[in-house]
Structure 1
Amino acid sequence: MDRNDLRSALLRLASNHLWTYEYRTAALFDALPTATVDQHPFTAVRSLTDDQVASLAADDAFVGAVADRLAHLDGVMASAVTSPDVVYYSPEFGITDVVPQYSGGLGILAGDHLKSVSDLEIGLGAVGLFYRHGFFRQYLDGGRQAERIETYQADDFGFTDTGIVVEVPVADRVVDAKVWKMEVGRVPLLLLDTDLPQNSEHDRAITDQLYGGDQLHRLEQELVLGVGGARAVAAMGWTPGVHHSNEGHAGFLAIELLDRARAGDAATLDDAIEAIRPHVLFTTHTPVPAGIDRFAHAMIAPHLQPWADSWGDPIADVLALGPDPDDAKTFNMAALCLKVAARANGVSKLHGEVSRDLFGDVPGGSDISSVTNGVHARTWVSPTLQDLFDARLGTDWALGNAGAWERIDDVESDAIVTARATDKAPLIELLAERSGATLDPDALVIGFARRFATYKRANLLLRHPDVLAALLADDERPIHILFAGKAHPADKPGKQLIEQVVAYGASAEANGRFSFIPDYDIGVARALYFGCDVWLNNPVRPREASGTSGEKAALNGGLNCSILDGWWAEMSDGRNGWDIPTSDATDDDVRDTEESASALSLLGDIAAEFHADGSGRPSEAWVDRMRHNWRTLGPKVTAARMVSDYDNELYQPMLRAL
């Protein structure tokens, strides 16, 4: 392989994001002399000098590894999706930390969905937005969250310019949106970008930042995502049978589909709804009204007026597409999605029940089913454990194969403990680098990492400071509690939670064993999942729709200590982790105080079990519990199981019904 061929091969490998979940390919990029932290491999490859490429080309082992990975990629792409049956719309996609087009769980879930679709060779494409400022980066300023904004170029990520520009009506004007294509294994992801010279300065900024700006900015973003996304799909020549909206943010795709129906045979708006209904699937992720996108009629009416005029319908009839059960002068995006969807689902069994109650007064709300979220195993399980599992369980463990996970009982305790100790080392290094704290490798490491929303109660343990301090002071059974997460810049209560956690960590009572790691992203999350022994989750029940962080920890051998909410409510069996008892108190303060006491008591018991052998390593009883965790949860928590459920229970039945 000469220099030009090697450079081309590396660019091809870097432009397809298969490397984000195939660590052997990622290792090739890490070995490049231009590789830096937080840099996309595509940029690192483009930065190579001719002399550097020549040196790499002279390394037979490196060239052989590149050829092997390229042959693998070519084999994958031999069955690439070119004309998808299903198109999946989402405002954010968490594919990798070096493509910061995500904020939290919704985006991570969307990224895992695409990766598993690729693994299972399902005919699905996807649509999102390209945010040139991504989501904010977090740092601490005097113990308080502060934000900085960075700028990104699609060219630096190896995205393909499709050459397509779609027009999106936005109130009284038309906004142009460029269409980029990002490859995620076999799956094409289209990303719309309004930062074009022909747009006004205001309109160029529509896709500037994920969840930035005010309500009007959010409305304009969602019009580009939904209407522009559906138009991009058509411009690509795709003719999907199913349009899948991941949350209501993409709900305006219904407006574009209705417009096509009205231009066809649909004489009335009701006729158009019936025409598009078989093609629309809606997944809701919120268990509370506050999580739904709602727009005042005064704000949204000018944006819907172009369609009302085109269809010859009163604007009141168009506004009635999104009836809000609590406010007649508000347009409800979830109600719009439910009104036009053939199928709708929540993201855990409990969330399905909560959603049917929440949307019971909305047409279609009482029929909401559920598909419990899962996580992409190859993305989230450490390379150390992947090698161990591949060798001892067979490679199908990553697809949730129950037979493969049954073999975990044959894996020796020493192999498990050694792997876990190896995986704790990067976390020790990260904590020292980001927080200046020291992590005892023999300590029981407890992790809490997620968005700092108030209902997730990051400060719950602080309600009994004396009990917490006693746990942190125990040198015979040492524990270290780690926190990470961001609060939305406009969420003052969420920011106050971060302040409280950081302040306690700096106190003498914390004993250096209670730490906050700033700038939470996929990279930080992976280090925590690889190194934590226990994953703590204490939301207000039933406000956690699903949650997936505990699933990622479980696949790495971490044991969950959680409120019975979201996915844990249906998968806990009393031995694969611990359930924090839910208080019956109706007063919020009493409830939190009681549940804090229960959580701290459990953590004391957990520390005793972890350190029971007094050997400086997890006890044999602990390792047995880890095996049980893997055997019972491994088949259930993978995104491969989740995507198979979507395909078998929703996609294929909808496609067959057309």
Structure 2
Amino acid sequence: GIAPTVWHANEGHSAFLTLERIRELIQKGSTHADACETIRQSTVFTTHTPVPAGHDVFPHHLMDRYFAGYWEQLGLSREDFLRLGDTPESQGQGFNMTALAIRLAAHVNGVSREHGQVSREMWRHLWPGLPTEQVPIRSVTNGIHAPTWIAPELNQLYGKYLGPAWAERCDDTTMWQRVLDIPDQELWAVRQTMKRKLMSFIRERARSGWMQGQLQASQVLTRGTLLDPEALTIGFARRFATYKRATLLFRDLDRLKRLLHNQWRPVQLIFAGKAHPADEPGRFFIHEVLSFCDDHKLGGHVAFLENYDMHMAKFLVQGVDIWLNTPRFPLEASGTSGQKAALNGVINLSVLDGWWKEGYNGANGWGIEPLIGNSDIQAQDEHDAQQLYRLLEQEAVQLYYQRDLDGIPRGWLQLMKENLRTNAPRFCTKRMVKEYVDNLYAPAMVRTPSIW
């Protein structure tokens, strides 16, 4: 069988693997201390979210039910065993899986630079007396698999101007400089083709749903059949977790209506996503968005696509003009949907959190500066909403509709090319895997236990 040198645990729910590895070493003759150190040195742990719901905490009575008799095999008492999952928040009443993982992994990382800093703050109590900046949690920013998410039309265009092996060299910053050589007319034509494909996909889904009796006639209109392929189209598609604030753009309805119904510069919104079945607030957000879609005052400019999946996601990240992301800072660990959109020439408009805090350079999209140091959620939402409206009204909409005599939005395409030049090579899986190998896997391999 396979005898791994390094074990990579993702999220706390996988952390029990460290205990079983310790038990196996002790069975082979190791002391508890030696087994723990061997496992620590050969374990990489990645935490993926600062949101409390993403960190499993089990009550002690549940741990007793399933682990009674097990901790002795680890050379531990019940108290010492439960202490592995202890945190100040649990007050000795809960077993935190993330705490267990961090304690038994010598190599720990978050999934963006900002998330690394947030994680150091969150877990600094595991290193009492150590300054936060010295807490040994580093970061490897997430990336996306370019061949999976690139539109066929854009793949062909990249092959023509970047080279047929562009996807294999997706982390090559020098290669991406060549996007500046792509003629504006060609890039714009391809982007418009991708947008029309999205609109056709949406209409066909609505037609099919109506024919199969899944949609009423009135619902067909709110599922995107009235969308205009010529209008500036904003996409928002992801998990409907409340911290992602899907309804932020609806905070000032009068202001939004003026944006959507501008006679010469119309805007339209496409939403898609799912909430966890147990996430009642997230499900309420979906119902709220659906109610806006049904509002005739919004005139068919807002659509919600049901049954969100990877197939639909591809059409959305390839076909919209702007990718909107409005998480409540600092809860966005990374986010990858915006990276997929960026690869396809879609412009990001996002709160400066997660990956976008690294990706944004002031000339490749738009960034919403979060309100830092104010714990008032309403104040945060109002601050971010005002910035969002301002960026749309004063910058994004105007730039999109600013055309030359050939009907080409030169300024928009300049923004698009800068986005591709700067973000495509930085946020791909090839760069990400290299960083994991160089910064985490290789150091973990230095001590290869002979016992394996």
Q: How does the TM-score come out when normalised to structure 1?
A: 0.62
Deviations 1:528-573 (A, max 9, x none): 0110111101111111000011110000000110110001111210
Aligned equivalent of 2:20: 256
Contiguous gaps of at least 5 residues in structure 1: 1-236
Aligned equivalent of 1:95: none
Residues 302 and 463 of structure 1: CA distance in aligned 2, closer, same or farther (over 3 Å) = same
Residues 259 and 615 of structure 1: CA distance in aligned 2, closer, same or farther (over 3 Å) = farther
Distance of 2:278 and 2:76 partners within structure 1? 38
Aligned equivalent of 1:481: 269
8 A Cα contact 2:42 2:447, kept in partner: no
Residues 278 and 620 of structure 1: CA distance in aligned 2, closer, same or farther (over 3 Å) = same
Query: Of the candidates 284, 304, 308, which is equivalent to residue 47 of structure 2?
Result: 284
Deviations 1:461-498 (A, max 9, x none): 11100000011101211211111110111111101111
Deviations 1:80-105 (A, max 9, x none): xxxxxxxxxxxxxxxxxxxxxxxxxx
Distance of 2:344 and 2:234 partners within structure 1? 14
Query: Of the candidates 140, 149, 154, which is equivalent to residue 371 of structure 1?
Result: 140
Aligned equivalent of 2:245: 457
Distance of 1:436 and 1:456 partners within structure 2? 22
Identity over aligned residues, as a percent? 41
8 A Cα contact 1:304 1:318, kept in partner: no
Aligned equivalent of 1:656: 446
Aligned equivalent of 2:383: 594
Which letter maps to 1:370?
Answer: S
| Matching of residues 560-599 of structure 1 within 5 Å | 560-583=348-371, 585-599=374-388
Aligned equivalent of 1:241: 5
Query: Of the candidates 299, 313, 324, which is equivalent to residue 87 of structure 2?
Result: 324
Residues 628 and 524 of structure 1: CA distance in aligned 2, closer, same or farther (over 3 Å) = same
Residues 647 and 595 of structure 1: CA distance in aligned 2, closer, same or farther (over 3 Å) = same
Deviations 1:23-70 (A, max 9, x none): xxxxxxxxxxxxxxxxxxxxxxxxxxxxxxxxxxxxxxxxxxxxxxxx
Aligned equivalent of 2:171: 400
8 A Cα contact 1:431 1:438, kept in partner: no
Deviations 1:134-156 (A, max 9, x none): xxxxxxxxxxxxxxxxxxxxxxx
8 A Cα contact 1:428 1:438, kept in partner: no
**Structure 2 residue 117 is matched with structure 1 residue 348:** no
Distance of 1:447 and 1:415 partners within structure 2? 23
Which letter maps to 1:300?
Answer: M
Distance of 2:299 and 2:417 partners within structure 1? 32
8 A Cα contact 1:535 1:558, kept in partner: yes
**Structure 2 residue 428 is matched with structure 1 residue 638:** yes
Aligned equivalent of 1:180: none
- Any idea what SS the aligned residue of 1:657 has? coil
Distance of 2:138 and 2:165 partners within structure 1? 28
Q: Which moved more, 1:309-318 or 1:468-477?
A: 309-318
Residues 244 and 361 of structure 1: CA distance in aligned 2, closer, same or farther (over 3 Å) = same
Aligned equivalent of 1:540: 328
- Any idea what SS the aligned residue of 1:354 has? helix
- Any idea what SS the aligned residue of 1:635 has? coil
Deviations 1:265-300 (A, max 9, x none): 3223x3321121111100001123342111011112
Distance of 1:555 and 1:465 partners within structure 2? 32
Query: Of the candidates 153, 163, 166, which is equivalent to residue 384 of structure 1?
Result: 153
Which letter maps to 2:136?
Answer: D
**Structure 2 residue 269 is matched with structure 1 residue 506:** no
Which letter maps to 1:354?
Answer: V
Residues 491 and 578 of structure 1: CA distance in aligned 2, closer, same or farther (over 3 Å) = same
8 A Cα contact 2:224 2:300, kept in partner: no
Distance of 1:583 and 1:274 partners within structure 2? 42
Asked which structure has the greater RCO (Cα within 8 Å, sep 6+), the reply is 2
8 A Cα contact 2:112 2:355, kept in partner: yes
Distance of 1:412 and 1:267 partners within structure 2? 67
Query: Of the candidates 502, 520, 523, which is equivalent to residue 311 of structure 2?
Result: 523
Distance of 1:322 and 1:363 partners within structure 2? 14
**Structure 2 residue 322 is matched with structure 1 residue 551:** no
8 A Cα contact 2:368 2:384, kept in partner: yes
Which letter maps to 1:532?
Answer: V
What CA RMSD, in Å, does the superposition of the two structures yield over aligned residues? Answer: 1.7
**Structure 2 residue 416 is matched with structure 1 residue 626:** yes
Aligned equivalent of 1:23: none
8 A Cα contact 2:404 2:410, kept in partner: no
- Any idea what SS the aligned residue of 1:360 has? helix
**Structure 2 residue 232 is matched with structure 1 residue 444:** yes
8 A Cα contact 1:304 1:315, kept in partner: no
| Matching of residues 179-328 of structure 1 within 5 Å | 237-268=1-32, 270-311=33-74, 313-327=76-90, 328=92
Which letter maps to 2:243?
Answer: Y
Residues 449 and 256 of structure 1: CA distance in aligned 2, closer, same or farther (over 3 Å) = same
Which letter maps to 1:587?
Answer: D
Distance of 2:149 and 2:412 partners within structure 1? 22
8 A Cα contact 2:236 2:272, kept in partner: yes
Deviation at 1:262, TM superposition (A): 1.1
| Matching of residues 10-29 of structure 1 within 5 Å | none
Distance of 1:405 and 1:594 partners within structure 2? 35
Distance of 1:312 and 1:573 partners within structure 2? 53
Aligned equivalent of 2:220: none
Aligned equivalent of 1:65: none
8 A Cα contact 1:397 1:635, kept in partner: no
- Any idea what SS the aligned residue of 1:447 has? strand
8 A Cα contact 1:405 1:635, kept in partner: yes
Distance of 1:363 and 1:238 partners within structure 2? 34
Aligned residues, how many? 421
Q: How does the TM-score come out when normalised to structure 2?
A: 0.90
Distance of 1:351 and 1:259 partners within structure 2? 32
Distance of 1:622 and 1:310 partners within structure 2? 64
Distance of 1:515 and 1:481 partners within structure 2? 6
Deviation at 1:311, TM superposition (A): 4.0
Residues 260 and 395 of structure 1: CA distance in aligned 2, closer, same or farther (over 3 Å) = farther
- Any idea what SS the aligned residue of 1:281 has? strand
Which letter maps to 1:609?
Answer: L
- Any idea what SS the aligned residue of 2:304 has? strand
Distance of 2:75 and 2:375 partners within structure 1? 51
Query: Of the candidates 189, 196, 207, which is equivalent to residue 418 of structure 1?
Result: 189
Deviations 1:102-145 (A, max 9, x none): xxxxxxxxxxxxxxxxxxxxxxxxxxxxxxxxxxxxxxxxxxxx
8 A Cα contact 1:400 1:634, kept in partner: yes
8 A Cα contact 2:57 2:96, kept in partner: yes
Distance of 1:439 and 1:418 partners within structure 2? 19
- Any idea what SS the aligned residue of 2:86 has? coil
Aligned equivalent of 2:212: none
8 A Cα contact 1:611 1:617, kept in partner: no
8 A Cα contact 2:224 2:303, kept in partner: no
Aligned equivalent of 1:220: none
| Matching of residues 112-151 of structure 1 within 5 Å | none
- Any idea what SS the aligned residue of 1:455 has? helix
| Matching of residues 30-45 of structure 1 within 5 Å | none
